[in-house]
Amino acid sequence: MRRVLSRIKNFFSPDKQLSAQLEHLLGFTPKHLPYYQLALMHRSKVDELARNNERLEFLGDAMLGAIVGEYLFKKYPTQHEGYLTELRSRIVRRETLNNVAMRMGMNKLVQYNSHDKGLDRSHIFGNAFEALVGAVYLDQGYPRTRTFIIKQFLHAYIDIELVAATDTNYKNQLLNWSQRNHRAIEFQNMEESREGTRKSFTIGIMLEGNLLCTGVGYNKKHAGQSAAKKAMEMLANEEE
């Protein structure tokens, strides 16, 4: 009955289109739509903390990490802590979440400053997905949140065996290459700039004291990973 009443309420709501889109995305009918509207509001649109999704992102990040961690703990009963931690990290990393969020169509729902071109290359949609998880938790409670993450995220979009077999930590790959080949590698901060409302960082890869390549990201970690990926590709081409 509550589900029927919720459908009727949303049908006559001015936000019935959003309700329908969310129901398709989530697999259930939202009860309290403002949670989800807040989850889809990026700070570039509304800077006021109480009206953008940053706090919900914090909550969703915690829920996502806990539920994915529990799922992996049960799926791999003989694996050690380091393996589970690394696998969880790969699943919930910003690039993965951003890719999944865009495949879900969240890029069509998130409210952000479309004139800030730097945001198109950032991870705002992955961040909004975390905020959406926070909204689901507040609206539906833990059991429904767990079901949503497992069915609508892990089962629908994540090939865990492929993730486990793929090493995406390019910085570690590059440092291992450096040790194997006895060649000095150094990560160097090159530049900090601002694109719209966000800071941008440039990290350079120094090989034997010479600049090999650079990478750009919205934090130093992502910039370093981007640079390391380019470096590994360049070094692989040299070895062929």
The residues that bridge with 192 in the sheet, in sequence order, are: 201
- Candidates 15, 48, 61, 95; catalytic one: 61
Long-range contacts formed by 145-152: CB under 8 A, 24+ apart: 145/63, 145/67, 146/67, 146/70, 148/26, 148/27, 148/28, 149/63, 149/64, 149/67, 149/68, 149/71, 150/67, 150/71, 151/27, 152/25, 152/26, 152/27
Residue 116 annotated in active site: no
Rg (CA), the chain: 21
Residue 208 annotated in active site: no
- Candidates 47, 81, 130, 238; catalytic one: 130
Known catalytic residues are 61, 130
